[in-house]
Amino acid sequence: MLDLLKSEFTRRTILHKAGFGLIALSTFGVAGTIFKPNRTLAQAGPAPAKEPSMPPEKKLGWAVVGLGKFATEQIIPSFGECKRSKLVALVSGDRAKAEGIAQQYGVNSKNIYNYQNYDTIRNNPEVDVIYIILPNGLHAEYSVRGAQAGKHIMCEKPMAITVEECQAMIDAAKKGDRKLMIAYRAQYEPYNLAAIKLAQSGKLGKLKAITSDHGRNLDPKDPADRWRAQKKLAGGGSLYDIGIYSLQAARYITGEEPQEISAMMYSTPGDPRFREVEENVNFVLRFPSGVLANCTSSYGYADTKRIQVFGSDAALELDPATDYYQHRLIIKRKNSNEEQNIQEKNQFALEMDHLSESIMANKQPKTPGEEGLQDVRLMQLIYQAARTGKTIKV
Ligand code: NDP
């Protein structure tokens, strides 16, 4: 999990103790470019040209399936920062939109597909990898069809709606000898990798507890939030969409799997957004080491993406923890707060290149289908614990 964070931390301690309230800054010596956020498609502009001094490197060809908000605002612009991955094809139900994006990013219009002729992508040797960025309820179908077309698959989180769908995706990839990776970007993002390293190296002492809070206020006016309120397309409510980051954090910070789960769920009565999916889920996980993780997930509270880790000697706070950029990591001791200043990188480019490199080296990616299946299995158990009011043994 930590092999991306190769260099040791080199520290540049700047300030310390201001009447017990000073903040210290230190730098993790991680080589790489500073990540410039991609906010909107219009602002993002065309992918930056390759630097002339860069040695020619092999890049795999990627097709993006579903040209929605996340694909157009974050993923497609990030190909410009990839070393091993290039955008070569688009799959969309909206031909005009796809034509515009193809023109902007230099994709040949002969490589634009729709959902009906998608399977003919098998005949396109330019496409090595298919990236599924569709509503959750469509992940399984398009991943399986993609693997059957002989392509490697990157699939957005949550992997699918049911455990059975996840297993079908894994089976299809195995049958075709294709790689399947779930796009858990936080596991490639430098601040999260640093937090994992701090927590697992004993620098905080013995780990005792984790809290992780992920929520936002679902906006029915936003087209990207409309399908999120429909159970068939979303699979679940806040837990499937954003609470999954709290679950992931507890698992990757400890490096363990939970043994017990308890949970409580609540949706505001009469709120039309929550007719089919839940608003809030709070859940507690107990890990074999004794760490208790207290997690919240909400479609009702304002944007929050926070992870806190409490050890016997120190605590760390990552806030925002799982945003697209501008993360913040602070180590808290009795009389001091030490801010870690880590070089930001484009986490989307890192995760896409990770899959391309895994394919080239014929290695299992760090977040394979099995990782996505485990989260879906655990989320189902969280719902079960909330529904029954009983603590579930995993
Ligand atoms: P959007 O609604 O913005 O995009 C989904 C796209 O899927 C649509 O624009 C459309 O593209 C296509 N689509 C095909 N069938 C349907 C359908 N029946 N209803 C709606 N759209 C359809 O959603 P997001 O981009 O926000 O989310 C897409 C996926 O990405 C989800 O799985 C989500 O969980 C994940 N995601 C991950 C994030 C991360 O940080 N890792 C952040 C945000 C989302 P077209 O018009 O081209 O056919």
Asked whether the predicted pLDDT for residue 184 surpasses 90, the reply is yes
Q: What is the pLDDT of residues 53-107, one digit of tens each?
A: 444 579 999 999 999 999 999 999 999 999 999 999 999 999 999 999 999 999 9
pLDDT confidence of residue 45: 38
Q: Among 3.30.1330.90, 3.30.360.10, 3.90.1150.10, 3.40.50.2000, name the CATH number for the domain at 186-345+376-393.
A: 3.30.360.10
pLDDT at 186: 98
* Size of the chain, expressed as the number of residues it contains: 394
Q: φ, ψ for residue 118 (rounded to 5)?
A: -50, -40
| Torsion from C-alpha of 391, 291, 381, 272, nearest 10 degrees | 100
Q: Give domain 2-184+349-366's CATH architecture.
A: 3-Layer(aba) Sandwich (3.40)
Q: Which residue has the tokens 């634009």?
A: 112
Query: Which of these, 181, 161, 187, lies nearest to 355 by C-alpha position?
Result: 181
* Span from the CA of 22 to the centroid of ligand 1 (angstroms): 43
Q: How far apart are CA 122 and CA 97, in angstroms?
A: 23
Given this model, what pLDDT does residue 57 score?
75
**Mean pLDDT on 294-313:** 98
Q: Which protein residue's CA is at the shortest distance from atom 43 of ligand 1?
A: 70
Where in 172-255 does DSSP place strands (E)?
180-182, 207-215
Range in 125-129, 218-222, 312-316 the model is least confident about: 218-222
pLDDT tens digits, one per residue of 17-63: 333 333 344 433 333 333 333 433 333 334 444 444 444 579 999 99
Whether the Cβ atoms of residue 41 and residue 70 lie closer than 8 Å to each other? no
Give distance in angstroms: CA of 238 to centre of ligand 1. Answer: 15
Do you find a cis peptide bond into 158, omega within 30 degrees of 0? yes
Strand 180-182 relative to strand 152-155: parallel, antiparallel, unpaired? Answer: parallel
Read off the pTM. Answer: 0.89
Give SS3 for 45: coil
According to the model, what pLDDT value does residue 5 have? 35
Say whether 186-345+376-393 and 2-184+349-366 share the same fold: no
Task: Identify whether 83 is a catalytic site residue.
Answer: no
Atom in ligand 1 nearest the alpha carbon of residue 93? 48
If one residue of 156, 185, 192, 230 were mutated to test the ligand 1 pocket, choosing by the most ligand atoms within 8 A of its CB, it would be: 156
Q: Where are the domains of the chain?
A: 2-184+349-366, 186-345+376-393
Q: Which residues pair with 264 in a beta bridge?
A: 282
Helix (H, G, I), strand (E, B) or coil at 229: helix
Atom of ligand 1 minimally distant from the CA of 69: 3
Choose the catalytic residue: 151, 157, 305, 366.
157
198-255 residue pLDDT tens: 999 999 999 999 999 999 999 999 999 999 999 999 999 999 999 999 999 999 999 9
Which of helix, strand or coil describes residue 200?
helix
Structure tokens given for 159: 């992997």
Q: Could you give the residue ranges of the DSSP H alpha helices within the chain?
A: 41-44, 69-70, 76-78, 95-105, 139-148, 163-175, 190-200, 223-226, 231-234, 238, 244-254, 347-360, 369-388
Pocket of ligand 1 (CB under 6 A): 66-71, 92-94, 97, 133-136, 138, 156-157, 183, 185, 223-224, 227, 233, 241
Sequence letter at residue 63: A
- Taking CA atoms only, the protein residue closest to ligand 1 atom 31 is 135
Q: Among 38, 132, 133, 242, which is best to mutate for testing ligand 1, by the most ligand atoms less than 8 A from CB?
A: 133
Expressed in percent and rounded to 5, the helix, strand and coil fractions of the chain are 35, 25, 40
Tell me the CA–centroid distance for residue 67 and ligand 1, in Å.
7
End-to-end CA distance of the chain: 23
Our answer to whether residue 157 is catalytic in this structure is: yes
How far is Cα 246 from Cα 283, in angstroms, rounded to an integer?
Answer: 10
Q: Ligand 1, residue 94: give the atom nearest the CA.
A: 46
Structure tokens at 239: 């837990």
